[in-house]
């Protein structure tokens, strides 16, 4: 099996998200246990108001960063043409340290699989804007079997 490098993949190869629901702009680094992603806050995002985007969106940014990591692992172990199924996400814990995300700001999300068994993952994620920690989440991900 020919395993592609990160530079050879698109975000659509790694994630099932498309169009306005794809919030990640770039995968900066990835391996089978973690991913670091970059997103630019946009007015088209859900939870937008005149002040910016409400921090609850950080849960989705964390989930998409986790999806990059787990999409990478799928491609590495099953190949690029393997079935790309989404994950059900539960929020175990989420802490936000900002009231609004300003439009145009850059958010870095570092997601790490802290537990993995079969189709279950627990993922810890820190979200940063410049040098400021703006959120921390612990997510539980479950992927149904292909059947």
Distance from C-alpha of 95 to C-alpha of 118, rounded to nearest angstrom? 28
Give the pLDDT of residue 16: 76
Q: Is the pLDDT at 13 greater than 90, yes or no?
A: no
Give backbone dihedrals phi and psi of 136, rounded to 5 degrees, phi first: -140, 135
Supply the CATH number for residue 128's domain. Answer: 3.10.129.10
| Domain membership flag for residue 16 | yes
Mean pLDDT across the chain: 90
pLDDT digits (tens, 9 = 90+) for 32-46: 899 999 999 999 999
Q: Which range of residues forms the domain containing residue 19?
A: 6-142
Asked whether residue 100 is domain-assigned, the answer is: yes
Averaged over 36-61, what is the pLDDT? 97
Within a domain: 118: yes
Closest among 72, 85, 79, 61 to 14, alpha carbons compared: 72
Considering the domain boundaries, does residue 31 fall inside one? yes
89-138 pLDDT, tens per residue? Answer: 999 999 999 999 999 999 999 999 999 898 899 999 999 999 999 999 99
67 SS3 class: helix
For residue 23, give every residue at least 6 positions away whose Cβ sits within 8 Å of its Cβ, in sequence order, or none: 17, 39, 45, 57, 60, 61, 64
> For 53-73, what is the mean pLDDT?
93
Predicted confidence at residue 24, as pLDDT, reads 95
Tokens of 126: 């820190």
DSSP letter, residue 19:
G
Residue 1 falls inside a structural domain: no
pLDDT at res. 130: 94
Assess if residue 147 is contained within a domain. no
pLDDT band at 82 (very low <50, low <70, confident <90, very high): confident
pLDDT (mean) for 53-71: 94
- C-alpha–C-alpha distance, residues 103 and 141, integer Å: 29
Confirm whether 82 is domain-assigned: yes
Global pTM reads 0.91
pLDDT at position 146:
62
Number of domains making up the chain: 1
Q: Output the CA torsion sign for 28, 46, 84, 123.
A: positive
Return the DSSP state at 130: T
**Structural domain contains residue 96:** yes
From edge to edge, which strands make up the β-sheet containing 34-40?
26-30, 34-40, 106-117, 120-129, 132-142, 88-96
Residue 58 in this model has a pLDDT that exceeds 60: yes
For residue 31, count other CB atoms closer than 10 A to its CB: 13
């Amino acid at each position: 099996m020919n395993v592609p490098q990160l530079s050879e993949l698109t975000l659509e190869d790694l994630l099932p998200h498309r169009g306005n629901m794809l919030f990640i702009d770039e995968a900066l680094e990835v391996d089978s246990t973690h991913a670091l992603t970059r997103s630019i806050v946009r007015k088209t995002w859900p939870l937008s108001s005149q002040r910016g985007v409400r921090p609850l969106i950080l849960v989705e940014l964390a989930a998409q960063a986790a999806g990059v990591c787990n999409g990478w692992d799928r491609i590495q172990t099953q190949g690029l043409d393997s079935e790309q199924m989404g994950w059900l996400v539960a929020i175990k814990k989420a802490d936000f340290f900002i009231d609004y995300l300003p439009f145009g700001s850059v958010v870095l999300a570092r997601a790490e699989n802290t537990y993995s068994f079969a189709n279950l993952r627990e993922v810890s994620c820190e979200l940063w804007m410049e040098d400021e920690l703006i959120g921390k989440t612990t997510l539980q991900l479950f992927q149904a079997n292909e059947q």
